[in-house]
Amino acid sequence: MNNIPRLPVKDWVDSLVDWIQDTFEEFFEIIDIGIENFVEAIVFGLNLVPAFFMIFILTGLGYMVTKKWGLPVFTLVGFLFILNIGYWEATLQTLALVLTAVLISVIVGVPLGIWSSQKKRVEEIITPILDLMQTMPAFVYLIPCILFFSIGVTPGIIASVIFAMPPTIRLTNLGIRQVPEDLVEASNAFGSTTGQKLFKVQLPLATKTIMAGINQSIMLSLSMVVIASLVGAPGLGVYVYRAVTRIEVGTGFEAGLSIVILAIFLDRITQNLKTSNQ
């Protein structure tokens, strides 16, 4: 076995990354500037609203979506707690990162899910790629992200998108494929075009499953906030990472609890949106 030549996989990958970096440098710069400006705009917009007023808006949103008092009370108490312990600004930054990553995941993932549901060959090609995206350690694809976009918000967002997008694609594909065949046949019998069948029959009936995928993407994006902080992304992950490096248990607990509160709020909101679309 020792006499078998070693495959130069490392050299191949390094050469490919260098070629991509040299060829698409200007393209990466445009993406970097666009994502950074978008995140900064969200944070700026959220900060325009006074903290107490924003908390009451989120509380009202919780009641509008659920029509119950459990989530609104949790939202009010939870975000007031975050404000009290001094993590409000970091929470808004984390929210902006998650919203950006999820928005990109939906814009890219839903069309890919629709495409793979319509073409079996596309599904066969995309499935192993999604498996790779979900199983590859995040630190591995964080390295080329840093090379392409340097340190800052963008590599953290891109890494979050890579990790969080697969559920959106998979469940969009699954939801459309699970539409009862008799309804699809009925739409064909009435002479529906492919577009009419997709937008008037398949997508409305698949909305619940698609929303479940978006919900999972939100949770996975939140799970990446600490890793994103390693490459310069702001937010609650910075405090968690600082607590780990300095062995500050209290700081880590506070920041981690703030992430949990934000995660529960976003999870319950999207879950109830999913239920309302049944």
| pLDDT, tens only, 63-100 | 998 888 889 999 999 999 999 999 999 999 999 999 99
Query: With pLDDT > 90 as the criterion, what percentage of the chain qualifies?
Result: 44
Query: If you ran DSSP here, which 8-state letter would residue 5 be given?
Result: P
1 pLDDT higher than 60 = no
Question: Region 266-274: what's the mean pLDDT?
Answer: 83
Give the pLDDT of residue 78: 95
* Confidence band for 278, pLDDT divided at 50, 70 and 90: low
For the entire predicted model, the pTM comes to 0.88
Torsions phi, psi for 241 (to 5 deg):
-65, -40
User: Which residue in 117, 164, 142 sits closest to 231, CA to CA?
Assistant: 142
Give the pLDDT of residue 97: 92
CA angle 87, 92, 95 (to 5 degrees): 120
CATH classification for the domain delimited by 9-48+85-276, as one of 1.10.645.10, 1.10.3720.10, 2.60.40.10, 3.30.70.100: 1.10.3720.10
Greatest mean pLDDT among 97-106, 154-163, 180-189: 97-106
127 pLDDT higher than 60 = yes
Question: Among positive and negative, which fits the CA dihedral 95, 97, 103, 109?
Answer: negative
Question: Concatenated DSSP letters for 193-241?
Answer: -HHHHIIIIIHHHHHHHHHHHHHHHHHHHHHTHHHHHTTT--SHHHHHH
Helix (H, G, I), strand (E, B) or coil at 79: helix
* Confidence band for 22, pLDDT divided at 50, 70 and 90: confident
Cα of first residue to Cα of last residue in the chain, in angstroms, is 58
Question: Region 231-248: what's the mean pLDDT?
Answer: 88
Q: Which two tokens stand for residue 219?
A: 């949770």
Contact by Cβ (8 Å): 112, 126? yes
Could you tell me the residue ranges of all domains in the chain? 9-48+85-276
Helix (H, G, I), strand (E, B) or coil at 180: coil
Q: Kindly report, residue by residue over 117-126, the tens digit of the pLDDT.
A: 988 899 999 9
Q: Kindly report, residue by residue over 144-162, the tens digit of the pLDDT.
A: 888 888 888 888 898 889 8
Give the pLDDT of residue 109: 93
* Confidence band for 108, pLDDT divided at 50, 70 and 90: very high
